[in-house]
Amino acid sequence: VPLGVGLGFANRYRDENKVSLTYFGDGASNQGQVFEAMNMAQLWKLPVIFIIENNQYAMGTSVKRSHSDTHLYRRGAAFGIPGMEVDGMDVLAVREAGRQAVEHARNGEGPYVLEMKTYRYRGHSMSDPAKYRTREEVDDVREHNDPIKRCEKRLSDNGFKDEEKLKEIDKEIKAIVKEAADFALESPEPEPKELYTDILASAQ
């Protein structure tokens, strides 16, 4: 989050009309550095959008057990930063909220907080069996609130009935993702000097 605010400062300093989109999870939203960064962003009216991906569980603790205020879009309220809770499982809701937040930041009104209410089906990492929730809970979200299924239903309800076309799109997307994953796995490790790329400037 502090790095995202730094990018927002650079955008303002260079007068580039860009907006920094800074993503972090519900667990990270409790860290002190987040509040320090929010304070600075609002103080200097930086074009930063704080996007909290609230998937209901941090490493393994539910939001209800680890947050005194479970409405995370209010995280910036102490600094006067406006916020909005968004259904992160609805692509159109996300697009509209993003548009409003970007417009706010670009107009020089300072930062904005978006709480994206979402869900992760698997554990936090490969070593996380996710036994802190029931299989029934996960299955219920998959069945009734999956973003891809909701998008497909919306297309169908609005007259798009070409199942074969949807399968073709799905196949194309899977191929793109597989190609990217294979490229990452097969690429050599970067040279140590790359650690300094875009980080260090030598003074003359």
CATH of the domain at 84: 3.40.50.970
| C-alpha dihedral sign at 97, 103, 108, 109 | negative
The count of C-alpha atoms lying within 13 angstroms of the C-alpha of 51, restricted to the half-sphere facing its C-beta, is 21
Tell me whether residue 10 is in a domain. yes
Tell me whether residue 195 is in a domain. no
pLDDT-derived band at 204 (thresholds 50, 70, 90) equals low
Position 63 pLDDT exceeds 70: yes
Active site residues: 120, 124, 132
Position 104 pLDDT exceeds 70: yes
Q: What is the β-pairing status of strands 48-54 and 83-87?
A: unpaired
Tell me whether residue 47 is in a domain. yes
Position 137 pLDDT exceeds 80: yes
Phi/psi of residue 57, each to 5°? -140, 135
Q: With contact defined as beta carbons under 8 Å apart, do 55 and 120 qualify?
A: yes
Give 57's DSSP letter: B
Can you tell me the distance from the alpha carbon of 145 to that of 119, in angstroms, rounded to the nearest whole number?
Answer: 9
pLDDT-derived band at 196 (thresholds 50, 70, 90) equals confident
Angle at 71 between CA 67 and CA 72, to 5 degrees: 75
Tell me whether residue 180 is in a domain. no
Give 12's DSSP letter: H
- Give the number of domains in the chain: 1
What range defines the domain where residue 64 resides?
2-122
| Percentage of the chain exceeding pLDDT 90 | 80
Tell me whether residue 141 is in a domain. no
Residue 101 has what pLDDT? 98
Tell me whether residue 139 is in a domain. no
Tell me whether residue 39 is in a domain. yes
Position 130 pLDDT exceeds 90: no
pLDDT one-digit tens code per residue, 106-128: 999 999 999 999 999 988 888 88
Tell me whether residue 177 is in a domain. no
Beta strands in the chain (DSSP E): 20-25, 48-54, 83-87, 112-117
